[in-house]
Structure 1
Amino acid sequence: MQKRFIDKKEEYNNLYKSLEKKYNIISNIRFFVMVLIIYLGYKIYNNFGTMFLALEIILVFLFLILVVYHQKIRVERERAKILEDINGRYISRIDGTWIEFEDTGKEFIDTSHDYSNDLDIVGENSIFQLLNITNTHIGRKIFVNNLLKPDKDKKKIYLKQEAIKELSGKLDLVQEIEYITYKNKKDLKDPETLIKYAESDENLFKSKFIKNLIRFMPVLVLGINIYGIISKSFFIIYIGLGVLIVQVLIWLFSMFRNSKILETVHYLKYNLETYLEVLKLLEKENFSSEELKRIKETMFSQGQSSIEAIKELDKITQIINIRSGGISNLILNVLFLWDYQCIFLLEKWKNKYGEKVKSWIEGIGEIESLISFSVLNNINSHIVFPKIVEGKSRIIAEEIGHPLINMEDRVDNDIKLDNEIFIITGSNMSGKTTFLRTIGINLVLAYNGAGVCAKSMELTLLDIITSMRVVDDLKGGISTFYAEILRIKRIIDRAETQDNMIFLIDEIFTGTNSVDRILGAKNVIGNLNKDNIIGMITTHDLELCALDSRKRIRNFYFEDKYDGKTIKFDYKIKSGKSTSTNAKNLMNLAGIKIVIKQ
């Protein structure tokens, strides 16, 4: 699996080197041609000759051709370099160095979220950091939103599964879209202001008469003044100057308002270029999955092509950019009321395409999000698309593993959590917490239509809520223990009103004494022991294992083996309760003498 990306990376590296060599050669030729142009220009200046002039013209044309070709090579060279880096990132995802990726999505961390902080959904060493290849603002938001709020609809999940399967088999398309969006990533802006403007029905003027008057006024001003100059009539010239002053006042009257409107699209130059390239690529692509067809249909349907719309907006942006300089801005607005003319063009465009803009931009974001989920299929050979089933809450999986752990290091487990609660015991570092996260993170992937790290998996639609990484709130005066109580109270409250829920609680109530901890844990399990509420609780308190006498509660454990020198873990979950502890052994390994035996 890794070899595929190594070969592609090497292919693009060789292409980059070849283009770099060609680029440098053309640079030297351009310099040589420029020197000849200057030399021949000097010759023509001192001793004009037809031959010299003909050569000069030929060299100027040659230089222009070289400039265009040089630019083309520069773009191809940049593309080769970016695609080399893209394949390098796939290799990093496979060998484990993906944890060095800069974009961790840390700004989306929310410790109050039902599960994201506990399951490593966003932030450092997260599923977002591993899979994310979105580069547009909207794509990033959609991908994160999917991770944090999966749409638990069986039909939609299956539609996404088909789309992700198809995209995972179109690696060249996937990488081309990533290249297009990545090359301008630093210059891409949030399109929210454009979307709001496009969806608004507010125009600068409601009156068509006033709008037409402002459109015609520059023609009137220029006509009167030119006629006055030609006729040498001071009376006409004074009238012309008077009308010109009125025109300047009209410009100044709405100058700041107009500038604000124009800035809406002016700063989206690179967005428009990026959208246009992606749309052109998607237009040519034939999809078989219904979800991808649906997204494409929103972009190229009902006689309103998104490509034509973006092209038109890009042209308007270029017209707006003509007045970007201070002097040009002054002259164009004084003579032509340029800002008004640009806004009238924008309003015409908005009235024609406005209600579609959001769906087009979001369509690109949806594609990016689906592509991100498809990455897992290309970096992990142990992937299956789960089956969504009806009935009692359950998760049944064979060889399920944690997607953030390398395949070579990962230990897979089987699970059959069928309308039950698991009490999981075991010594420190034996794999209890990792197992909880394995189940949780694969559920998040499953509900997004993505593949999961398993041989097989079937599950019902479940709300996920966890209590694992509980932190204190010093400003709010809340200790870690009390913060955990509040978190677990939230889980219990949810269970009161929610069917089909899974809870994952790690090391319950470790912040208090053993008597209170056991009593508290028993009551938590008692409150959660309700039909269709399933979950897992890890603990060191073997006394909780006695609860397996109750209906729906089962014991499982992870074990370790100590040979006097090392502690070995197999990270395999087993039925029953733990019969060993390793705190003493860990202290021995760390060099702490056991001076009190009991």
Structure 2
Amino acid sequence: MGAIIGYILIVIVLVTVVSLGSNIKRNREIKERIERGWENVVEEKYNEEDLKTIAEYFNNRRKAKEKEFFIDEITWNDLSMNSIFKKINITESSPGEQYLYNMLREPLYDEKKLKERDRLINFFGEHEEERKKIQYILAKLGKARECFISDYFYKKDGKRKSSLMYYRILSAMPIIGLAVAFLNIHIGIMIAFGSVVVNMYTYYTEKSKISHNLQAFNYIIQIIKHSDLILKEDIKELDDYNRKLKEAFQGIKDIKNKSFSSGNNGTDVGILIEYINIVFLRELINYEKMSNMLIEKNKEFKIIFEVIGSIDSLMAIAAYRKRLNYYTTPELIKCNNKQEAIYNFEDMIHPLIGEAIPNSIEMKDSILITGSNASGKSTFLKTLAINIILGQTIYTCLAKEFKCCYFKIYTSMALKDDIFNNESYYIVETRSLKRIIDSVNREVPTICFVDEILRGTNTVERISASSQVLKHLTLNNCICVAATHDVELTHILERYFTNYHFQEKIENNEIIFDYRIHEGRATTQNAIKLLGVLGYSSAIVEKAQEKANKFLSDGLWEIE
């Protein structure tokens, strides 16, 4: 018996030494990466599944807060916000990147909350030593995108049938067998051997049902352990966050002692751990305890997740600011009515365009933008929309000055036919516009960005319907920023919309764009001339221009 115990102790020591060596190597690599600094961050690669798990907390939060405003899918996709998220996301943990993703999709309407974000962003940007300590702790936590963590925090309260007592009895049997062996070795060995067989069957049968949950539970425990390490750093600027952590820890003190393996990984050490878990049903017992606790204490777990996520995401935003050539914090005004403010945007740039041309505009109400293709209309719409979102989420605008109301933001821009629902482009677009009309209320002004309104139908009906839709929006509590090729709309709506345009020149058979917004409607139309620049035959270009001139003169199209 003594020899068996000795062998077990030797194995435990070997496992401990190997684990310590692996951890030391990993921690050294993390420290070296953090010391290299934010300037040397390697842009992470994502697949479609990564983005689905990253959006998990957002999806749960949106369902739980159905009456709150979130950036919807159409707007998010129109503005390529996934790409902007990726550009900002250098978080170290899953709570961090999930919280950051939700932050970009949940605009705030509270100056105090935005100022608090700004305070911590500035703190992490200016205090390298403290930031690196927190960054190191979160990097050791790491990411577990295969686990859907926040699903457990948002489960509704309820009771579940627990097998905890059953597992505890089974786990005790091998020890009882060894104890009996001191009195009767044959009976003791039979009890011990029989219990190992039963436990093996129970373990593998039950674990196959809950393996994914075990991974998630193990990561939740790691979140709690690492949040405790942040608490122990006792950084004064994190006092409010530390207080929340302390309060949440009160009800879940024992959770840090639990652990779950995620499989043996094919290694000798992993296989040994697997066998130990089989004999004592350690993971199944902890799983039952954890499942019960997550139901009873889901608020506490949610608080810890959100505190860690907030700290991690704010560090990522601080890093993002460091990488920008310039930015400003916005001046946001609470308006019940859109006409309570003048909107001033100076030297705005698009966050995804290298060496972007800055644009400035002062707006009092809705605007209509005309100009040829590729002149910059759509980019301007996206630039303004993105910066409004960034201003109300990460309190960071890529501009020299940024002043506007708090807004609900919608776009209707990069739409496509919905072949799965058998809907044409026109139907998809009219639904998109309808959702904006339905959003308008007197509590918070809406700002919408519409690119080439109703392009999916004929000219006469498009101009007629477009004028009424745009008029309806701007006569209600909505600022409408619309781009169109239909110059007729600039005349029909000139009482309601201020006209702006983008322009280009054709010099030496080359197209030259300045990509800057100008006052007034577009006075030139170069679409036909562009055909010649792009290599179309002179016969096509000249005949097209002749027919266009004829129509402008007589109001009739010449029959071929």
**TM-score, normalised by the number of residues in structure 1:** 0.70
Q: Is the 8 A contact 2:224 2:304 kept in 1?
A: no
Instruction: Give the whole-Å Cα distance in 2 for the aligned partners of 1:285 and 1:103.
Output: 37
Q: Which moved more, 1:426-435 or 1:354-363?
A: 354-363
Q: What residue is the counterpart of 1:46 in the other structure?
A: none
1:163 is aligned to 2:120 = yes
Aligned residue for 2:113, secondary structure, equals helix
Instruction: Give the whole-Å Cα distance in 1 for the aligned partners of 2:226 and 2:153.
Output: 19
- Which of 402, 413, 423 aligns to 2:350? It is 402
Q: Is the 8 A contact 2:89 2:316 kept in 1?
A: yes
Q: C-alpha deviations, 1:431-490, integer Å up to 9, x for none?
A: 111111111001111111321011122221211111110111223332223322222222
Which runs of 5 or more structure 2 residues have no equivalent in the other structure?
Answer: 1-16, 60-70, 547-560
Aligned residue for 2:370, secondary structure, equals strand
Q: What residue is the counterpart of 1:368 in the other structure?
A: 312
Q: What residue is the counterpart of 1:11 in the other structure?
A: none
Aligned residue for 1:509, secondary structure, equals coil
Q: Which moved more, 1:183-192 or 1:365-374?
A: 183-192
Q: What residue is the counterpart of 2:184 in the other structure?
A: 228
Q: Which moved more, 1:187-196 or 1:461-470?
A: 187-196
Q: What residue is the counterpart of 1:121 in the other structure?
A: 81
Q: What residue is the counterpart of 1:543 in the other structure?
A: 488
1:363–1:475 distance in 2 versus 1, CA, 3 Å: same
Instruction: Give the whole-Å Cα distance in 1 for the aligned partners of 2:524 and 2:47.
Output: 42
Q: What residue is the counterpart of 2:542 in the other structure?
A: 595
Q: Which moved more, 1:383-392 or 1:111-120?
A: 111-120
Q: What residue is the counterpart of 2:550 in the other structure?
A: none
Aligned residue for 2:73, secondary structure, equals coil
Aligned residue for 1:227, secondary structure, equals coil
Give the number of the structure whose alpha-carbon radius of gyration is greater.
1
Give the paired residue count. 505
Aligned residue for 1:134, secondary structure, equals coil
Matched AA of 1:595:
E
Q: What residue is the counterpart of 1:493 in the other structure?
A: 438
Q: What residue is the counterpart of 1:76 in the other structure?
A: 28
Instruction: Give the whole-Å Cα distance in 1 for the aligned partners of 2:128 and 2:484.
Output: 44
Instruction: Give the whole-Å Cα distance in 2 for the aligned partners of 1:81 and 1:516.
Output: 60
Q: Is the 8 A contact 1:388 1:459 kept in 2?
A: yes
How far off is 1:542 after superposition?
1.5
1:106–1:468 distance in 2 versus 1, CA, 3 Å: farther
Q: What residue is the counterpart of 1:256 in the other structure?
A: 205
Aligned residue runs from structure 1 range 393-542, under 5 A: 393=338, 394=341, 395-406=343-354, 409-418=355-364, 420-495=365-440, 499-542=444-487
Matched AA of 1:296:
N
How far off is 1:524 after superposition?
1.3
Aligned residue runs from structure 1 range 74-223, under 5 A: 75-77=27-29, 79-80=31-32, 84=36, 87-89=39-41, 101-102=45-46, 107=52, 113-122=73-82, 126-171=83-128, 189-190=146-147, 191-192=149-150, 202=160, 204=162, 217-223=173-179
How far off is 1:115 after superposition?
0.8
Matched AA of 1:167:
F
Matched AA of 2:363:
L
1:349–1:284 distance in 2 versus 1, CA, 3 Å: same
Matched AA of 2:432:
R
How far off is 1:385 after superposition?
0.7
Q: Give me the CA root mean square deviation.
A: 4.6
**TM-score, normalised by the number of residues in structure 2:** 0.74
Instruction: Give the whole-Å Cα distance in 1 for the aligned partners of 2:431 and 2:270.
Output: 58
Q: C-alpha deviations, 1:92-134, integer Å up to 9, x for none?
A: xxxxxx6x95468765899972411111111xxx211211113
1:298–1:510 distance in 2 versus 1, CA, 3 Å: same
Q: C-alpha deviations, 1:382-403, integer Å up to 9, x for none?
A: 2111122123325322222222
Which runs of 5 or more structure 1 residues have no equivalent in the other structure?
Answer: 1-64, 91-97, 230-236
Matched AA of 1:280:
L
Q: Is the 8 A contact 2:347 2:359 kept in 1?
A: yes
Aligned residue runs from structure 1 range 549-568, under 5 A: 549-550=494-495, 552-568=496-512
Q: C-alpha deviations, 1:218-238, integer Å up to 9, x for none?
A: 554333232123xxxxxxx55
Instruction: Give the whole-Å Cα distance in 1 for the aligned partners of 2:29 and 2:204.
Output: 43
Aligned residue for 1:483, secondary structure, equals helix
1:286–1:564 distance in 2 versus 1, CA, 3 Å: same
Instruction: Give the whole-Å Cα distance in 1 for the aligned partners of 2:453 and 2:51.
Output: 27
Instruction: Give the whole-Å Cα distance in 1 for the aligned partners of 2:204 and 2:156.
Output: 21
Instruction: Give the whole-Å Cα distance in 2 for the aligned partners of 1:70 and 1:106.
Output: 30
Q: Is the 8 A contact 1:401 1:453 kept in 2?
A: yes
Instruction: Give the whole-Å Cα distance in 1 for the aligned partners of 2:80 and 2:277.
Output: 55
1:283–1:570 distance in 2 versus 1, CA, 3 Å: farther
Instruction: Give the whole-Å Cα distance in 2 for the aligned partners of 1:542 and 1:143.
Output: 41
Instruction: Give the whole-Å Cα distance in 2 for the aligned partners of 1:346 and 1:555.
Output: 61
Instruction: Give the whole-Å Cα distance in 2 for the aligned partners of 1:146 and 1:267.
Output: 23
| Percent of aligned positions that are identical | 25
Matched AA of 1:113:
E
1:279–1:168 distance in 2 versus 1, CA, 3 Å: farther
Instruction: Give the whole-Å Cα distance in 1 for the aligned partners of 2:305 and 2:532.
Output: 60
- Which of 224, 229, 236 aligns to 1:280? It is 229
Aligned residue for 2:403, secondary structure, equals strand
Q: What residue is the counterpart of 1:297 in the other structure?
A: 243
Instruction: Give the whole-Å Cα distance in 1 for the aligned partners of 2:357 and 2:81.
Output: 20
Instruction: Give the whole-Å Cα distance in 2 for the aligned partners of 1:448 and 1:176.
Output: 25
Aligned residue for 2:505, secondary structure, equals strand
How far off is 1:352 after superposition?
10
1:179–1:492 distance in 2 versus 1, CA, 3 Å: same
How far off is 1:426 after superposition?
1.7
Instruction: Give the whole-Å Cα distance in 1 for the aligned partners of 2:276 and 2:118.
Output: 57
